[in-house]
Structure 1
């Protein structure tokens, strides 16, 4: 399909980066920024195109949501300010290494989420390569059930290890829940990007990183994860007392 005008694409890219900065400066309030950004790119598209197509309008707003709004939840997650009471190992760390007062729920949750994504991707790769026999889904032929099971196991073990070290969250059940959510969020984030690339007839999102594709190829597992973990910690854990 016909892409949006170059000026609209450039503005969308700029605003995608700006959404995370806005989220940080406004202390996790990014919804208004998304609405204003959407209005700006759609209005500019009306001025820059003689006959803008609905697909062009939709792709611009989707780009803001997918590449701007979703990553901003990592800022929201990091800014969770409740003190994380716990680990004696952290108690003994000097201020230069963060000290106890700097280890908030947001910092530990962000660290745990990233660690679980890395463990999940690594586990899925090695288990899939050595044991993979059963195809998981037609969208991505290389993904196997065995690889997915290995990724889930590695994510859970990583979360439990970090729970043991940081003494956060309050129970191992919550740590396992975070690991499971991270695994599925990263897996489906990868699959969603695979659908977009297949529809566009592309193997990689771009050639920005030689041998690895583009930024989306490296960070597709992270896009939904920050939002899902933030929602879980902010709205589910307090209600159910996990």
Structure 2
């Protein structure tokens, strides 16, 4: 078994490895003659490979062999790996490898359990979201508002985390809570008034005044992080309400359209299938297909990293995700008879993909600066709300603008 010892920047005099080494043998470190000298004497039955990293721009690595002393005052890390050459008397190979095999089996079981949680909760979330989208109206808006509130709380907790807060001054807690409430009210105001611009401007003015008039010294970082929170967590999700509930033109051109003709009257009948409903279903389905195809393609063919922001993303996975997104958009447009132009369906798929990709990368950048893996732990196996909806934050605004502005008569 390998033991790992990390020695951070200090004046080294003497060090005992007994409490740090995981092997059964004793690895004595005799006292050095100087506080800047480190002498390593490995046991006779070990292979000791020592790599010492110096605090230099070149990050030069020096490998030390058995019994060599080192004199340098700028050591920042030393890594010692000791591997036994033989098995002690009375021990069998199974007894030595047994703990390793148990750890490997435990890790495999943990990964399998995590995968089951992701699948189960993912299916549950998908079915629930589908029902909410079909319901529309106040049901859809209230669910969006609840998700926005939780997402805003997660965002401001990330802003206050050690990774981000060490380089800036986060907003006070009362301002963060007020911003979360304002973000949750924005979708409701959007449904009620049909427009959110005045509400957002008023909310931004109130938050800015609260920050500028606080007792402590106001900082620009507080203002910028709060304003971005209102925009990212509150304003952008409102476009999903405008898309689903605002575009009420019928999307089915004929009474012979398959889905509309078979839809029960108790659930709204053919009039239920508006441009907003169909565009929302196509967008959400395309984003799910893009994420799934990107994951599968990246696992199977991924070799070239896409960006340092998210090291697991690859160009191969990105191309697979784009293909899956376009194919899903084109297929659903054929089934749901909207949009009537095939090129418009392809353009919608491309727009959905790039909106979801850059939404994902934006949240990854925030989490990377915060030094966390997940934005929260609300959803078992998935993380927080922002981890699940990051691909949708920008997409709603892009799709709404595309349908409202670029498609003649909303693509009907």
**Length-normalised TM-score, structure 2:** 0.56
Q: Indicate conservation of the 8 Å contact 1:5/1:49, yes or no.
A: no
Query: In the alignment, which residue of structure 2 is the partner of 1:33?
Result: 199
After superposition, residues 84-99 of structure 1 pair within 5 angstroms as: 84-86=251-253, 87-99=257-269
Instruction: Give the distance between the partners of 1:110 and 1:210, measured in 2 at CA.
Output: 26
Note the C-alpha offset of 1:240.
Answer: 11
> Measured at CA, do residues 55 and 175 of structure 1 come closer, stay the same or move farther in structure 2, by a change above 3 Å?
same
Deviation at 1:92, TM superposition (A): 2.6
Provide the residue aligned with 2:224 in structure 1. 58
Alpha-carbon separation, structure 1, partners of 2:212 and 2:306: 43
Contact 1:73 1:230 survives alignment (8 Å)? yes
Instruction: Give the number of the structure with larger relative contact order, counting CA–CA contacts within 8 Å between residues 6 or more apart.
Output: 1
2:385 alignment partner in structure 1: 215
Correspondence list, 1:72-91, <5 A: 72-78=238-244, 79-86=246-253, 87-91=257-261
Deviation, structure 1 residue 110: 0.6
Task: Summarize the Cα distance change of 1:222–1:153 in structure 2 as closer, same or farther, 3 Å threshold.
Answer: same
Q: Which has the larger radius of gyration?
A: 2
Q: 1:213 to 1:106 in 2, by over 3 A?
A: same
Residues 240 and 37 of structure 1: CA distance in aligned 2, closer, same or farther (over 3 Å) = closer
Across the aligned residues of Structure 1 and Structure 2, the Cα RMSD in angstroms comes to: 1.8
Shift of residue 85, structure 1, vs aligned partner: 2.3
Cα offset, 1:39, TM superposition: 1.1
CA contact (8 A) 2:252 2:337 kept: yes
Pick from 272, 275, 297 the counterpart of residue 102 of structure 1.
Answer: 272
- In the TM superposition, residue 239 of structure 1 has moved relative to its aligned partner by 9.2
| 1:134 aligns to 2:304 (yes or no) | yes
The reply to whether residue 42 of structure 1 matches residue 212 of structure 2 is no
Alpha-carbon contact 1:186-1:222 (below 8 Å) kept: yes
Q: 2:367, 2:258 → 1: CA distance?
A: 47
Unmatched segments (≥5 aa) in structure 2: 1-167
Q: Which has the higher strand share?
A: 2
d(CA) in 2 for partners of 1:167, 1:240:
13
**Contact 1:5/1:48 (CA < 8 Å) preserved in 2?**
no
Q: Any stretches of 5+ residues in structure 1 without a counterpart?
A: none
- Deviation for aligned residue 1:41: 1.3
Q: 1:21 and 1:240, CA in 2 relative to 1: closer, same or farther beyond 3 A?
A: closer
Could you tell me which residue of structure 2 aligns to residue 204 of structure 1? 374
Shift of residue 140, structure 1, vs aligned partner? 1.1
Partner of 1:61: helix, strand, or coil?
helix
Establish whether residue 156 from structure 1 lines up as the match of residue 326 from structure 2: yes
1:200 and 1:36 map into 2 onto residues whose CA distance is: 29
Given the superposition, is the C-alpha separation of residues 240 and 30 from structure 1 closer, same or farther in structure 2, using an over 3 Å criterion? closer
99-108 or 38-47, larger mean C-alpha shift: 38-47
Asked if residue 193 in structure 1 is aligned to residue 359 in structure 2, the reply is: no
Alignment pair present for 1:113 and 2:280: no
Contact 2:287 2:356 (8 Å CA) reproduced: yes
Give the number of aligned pairs: 241
Whether contact under 8 Å (1:16, 1:64) holds in the other structure is yes
2:183 paired residue number: 16
Which structure features the higher share of helix residues?
Answer: 1
How much has 1:157 moved relative to structure 2? 1.4
1:46 to 1:204, Cα distance in 2 relative to 1, 3 A: same
Q: Is the 8 A contact 2:252 2:260 kept in 1?
A: no
